């Protein structure tokens, strides 16, 4: 899911001014573009598939009995809601401070390793929260390297002789989430500081304002909408997590859905908790949308954009202090997981021959490839439908089809499982009635359910990458091909698709990587014996042998680094050279 948010940030950073949407343009001869009902049907079908899990959760939650409510209201919801609220508050504060601070440090000052840190500060996004939780629990544990170093340096013999914060707590979970999600805020704030800070900061300095006053009274108010949008993305990622909070023993609403469903066997109770989470997600989406709506970028002239932004050179201890400040979040969010899993992997080279690891690798490969093909195919169909119909209704359907990126995997898995189970039961009943043969479960508890869930979640990522490629093409290119006698299908295949090949390849890579990292939906929908790299690490961590999943964890991190750098490169580079 991290790459979905990063792709969204990249699209948010675009400051190209666009013309307002207008009615469909008439074609030559004064005739208007046909309505193309088939294109709308394709968009409506994709939107219906994406909205089906949400609608199912809502219906099950509202139609469920009240037998579970006394237990939920007394023993589950109060503690889970308070814990979730505290976790979200701590993560928002932590990611805001670190993200905004690092962005200001990189933009406003010149110090050693500044250019390296500008892109290195994005590397923690390559570490999924559940892997960070496993690594942090090992690193900060009593028998971990940090406390071992403290005892050896100060001569302590037991835990009772010194105080050390507990990583398996709400505060520890907040540290984990902040460590790997603060780059969302860093990227959004840095884009605004670069794009807007130059002229207004220069004006403030000519009036006698120092760097601190320029930051607090000028640039921070300008960047506030972007910061709010970045924090909203961080909070949605926090709500989506289940592996980290489960490993650290923090009972959030997401974990309560999982435990109520599997441990208590109450599907209705799980749906009711999921409905509360859905309202919370909608609130975060509204806040993020409002923040993006309030963003206003001043379009400076091209000659001005080439001027290097003024940065205050630091020297002496201040320069190295700035370097250490920028390096610390990278070492914590990316260095600790790499150190822990790398050390374990070096001691377990023989795991390369483990048939379970090879099976998990090939399962991840096949699942991710299938999901990428499905998501990219759906994205192409949706964008072609939108380009063909060009109506407000089709545009709305396109946005509804991409809503899966905002859904926590637990809600998506719950709604999809119920929907698929009812469909399988319906087909089985028909088969029994007319043929006397039971079809059993076709989709429920199968790999197809995992692929469908990932495709729904990451459809927005594929659509965003391909739309970015479409935006670079002339708007009437396919119309020019049709004016030469080509049909829409022929012009799409022979003109648009060859030009969109790099964007399609990028979309496939991004969906592939996020599917490899996906855990929340996979652990709830996978059939017995179905292990991806993510679930392989999860199972080993659940058994208390994180080290046995080190190889798989390193493969996941290495896979995620490439697209993170690919997407973040244009954002971390100074736009003015």
Q: Is 230 helix (H, G, I), strand (E, B) or coil?
A: helix
In a domain, 245, yes or no: yes
Q: What average pLDDT does this structure show over 527-547?
A: 87
In a domain, 123, yes or no: yes
What pLDDT, on the 0 to 100 scale, is given for residue 528? 82
- Torsion sign over Cα 274, 275, 280, 282: positive
Q: Can you tell me which residue has the tokens 């008439």?
A: 26
Range from 18-27, 137-146, 159-168 carrying the lowest mean pLDDT: 18-27
Query: Residue 196 is part of which domain span?
Result: 74-127+176-337
Q: What share of residues in the chain are helix, strand, coil (percent, to 5)?
A: 75, 0, 20
Report the distance separating Cα 46 and Cα 41, nearest Å.
9
User: Encoding tokens for residue 164?
Assistant: 């050390």
Percent of the chain with pLDDT over 90: 17
Residue 202 inside a domain? The answer is yes
Mean predicted confidence (pLDDT) in 492-521: 80
Query: In which band, very low, low, confident or very high, does the pLDDT at 13 lie, cut at 50, 70 and 90?
Result: very low
Q: Higher-confidence residue: 295 or 460?
A: 460
pLDDT value at position 206? 60
Do the domain assignments include residue 434?
no
Note whether 370 and 545 are within 8 A (CB). Answer: no
Domain annotation covers residue 40:
no
Residue 371 lies in a domain: no
Whether the CB-CB separation of 452 and 50 falls below 8 Å is answered with: no
State residue 298's pLDDT score: 46
Q: Is the pTM of this model over 0.85?
A: no
- When divided into structural domains, the chain yields a total of 1
Distance CA 23, CA 261 (A): 48
Identify the CATH number of the domain in which residue 244 sits.
1.10.3720.10
Mind giving me the DSSP string for 32-44?
A: BPP--HHHHHHHH
Tens-place pLDDT, residues 290-349 = 766 655 544 444 444 444 456 778 888 989 999 999 999 999 999 999 999 999 988 888
Q: To the nearest whole number, what is the mean pLDDT of the chain?
A: 78
Q: Is 313 helix (H, G, I), strand (E, B) or coil?
A: strand
Half-sphere exposure of 501 (CA within 13 A, CB side): 5
Out of 148-152, 162-166, 222-226, pick the least confident.
222-226
């Amino acid at each position: 899911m991290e790459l979905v948010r990063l792709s969204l940030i990249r699209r948010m950073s675009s400051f190209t001014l666009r013309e307002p949407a207008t009615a469909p343009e008439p074609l030559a001869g004064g005739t208007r573009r046909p309505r193309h009902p088939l294109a709308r049907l394709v968009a409506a079908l994709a939107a219906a598939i994406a909205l089906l899990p949400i609608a199912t959760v809502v219906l099950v939650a509202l139609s469920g009995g009240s037998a579970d409510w006394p237990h939920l209201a007394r023993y589950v919801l109060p503690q889970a809601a308070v814990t979730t609220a505290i976790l979200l508050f701590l993560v928002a504060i932590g990611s805001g401070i670190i993200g905004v601070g690092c962005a200001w440090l990189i933009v406003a000052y010149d110090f050693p390793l500044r250019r390296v840190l500008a892109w290195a500060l994005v590397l923690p996004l390559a570490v999924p929260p559940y892997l960070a939780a496993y690594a942090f629990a090992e690193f900060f544990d009593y028998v971990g390297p940090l406390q071992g170093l403290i005892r050896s340096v100060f001569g302590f013999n037991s835990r009772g002789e010194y105080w050390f914060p507990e990583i398996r707590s709400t505060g520890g979970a907040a540290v984990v989430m902040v460590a790997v999600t603060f780059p969302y805020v860093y990227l959004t704030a840095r884009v605004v500081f670069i794009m807007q800070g130059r002229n207004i900061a220069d004006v403030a300095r000519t009036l006698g304002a120092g760097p601190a006053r320029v930051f607090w009274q000028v640039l921070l108010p300008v960047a506030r909408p972007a910061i709010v949008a970045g924090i909203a993305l961080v909070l949605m990622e926090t709500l989506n997590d289940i592996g980290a909070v489960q490993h650290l023993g923090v009972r959030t609403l997401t974990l309560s859905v999982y435990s109520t469903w599997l441990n208590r066997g109450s599907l209705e109770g799980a749906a009711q908790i999921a409905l509360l989470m859905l309202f919370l997600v909608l609130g975060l989406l509204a806040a993020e949308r409002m923040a993006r709506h309030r963003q206003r970028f001043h379009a400076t002239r091209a000659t001005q954009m080439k001027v290097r932004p003024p940065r205050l050179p630091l020297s002496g201890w201040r320069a190295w202090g700035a370097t250490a400040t920028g390096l610390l979040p990278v070492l914590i969010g990316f260095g600790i997981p790499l150190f822990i899993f790398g050390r374990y992997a070096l001691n377990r080279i023989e795991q390369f021959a483990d048939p379970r690891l090879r099976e998990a690798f090939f399962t991840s490969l096949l699942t991710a490839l299938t999901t990428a093909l499905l998501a990219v195919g759906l994205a192409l169909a949706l964008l072609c439908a939108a380009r063909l119909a060009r109506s407000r209704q089709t545009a709305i359907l396109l946005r509804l089809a991409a809503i899966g990126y905002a859904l926590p995997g637990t809600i998506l898995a719950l709604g999809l499982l119920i929907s698929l189970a009812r469909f399988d039961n319906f087909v089985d009943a028909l088969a029994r009635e007319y043929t006397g043969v039971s079809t059993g479960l076709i989709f429920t508890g199968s790999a197809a359910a995992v692929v469908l869930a990932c495709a729904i979640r990451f459809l927005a990522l594929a659509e965003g990458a391909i739309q970015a490629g479409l935006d670079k093409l002339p708007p009437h290119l396919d119309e020019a091909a049709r004016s030469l006698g080509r049909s829409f299908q022929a012009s799409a295949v022979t003109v648009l698709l060859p030009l969109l090949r790099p964007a399609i390849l990028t979309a496939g890579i991004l969906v592939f990587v996020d599917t490899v990292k996906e855990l929340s939906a996979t652990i709830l929908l996978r059939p017995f014996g179905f292990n991806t790299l993510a679930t392989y690490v999860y199972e080993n961590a659940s058994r208390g042998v994180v080290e046995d999943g080190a190889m798989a964890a390193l493969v996941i991190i290495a896979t995620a680094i490439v697209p993170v750098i690919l997407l973040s490169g244009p954002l971390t580079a100074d736009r003015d050279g």
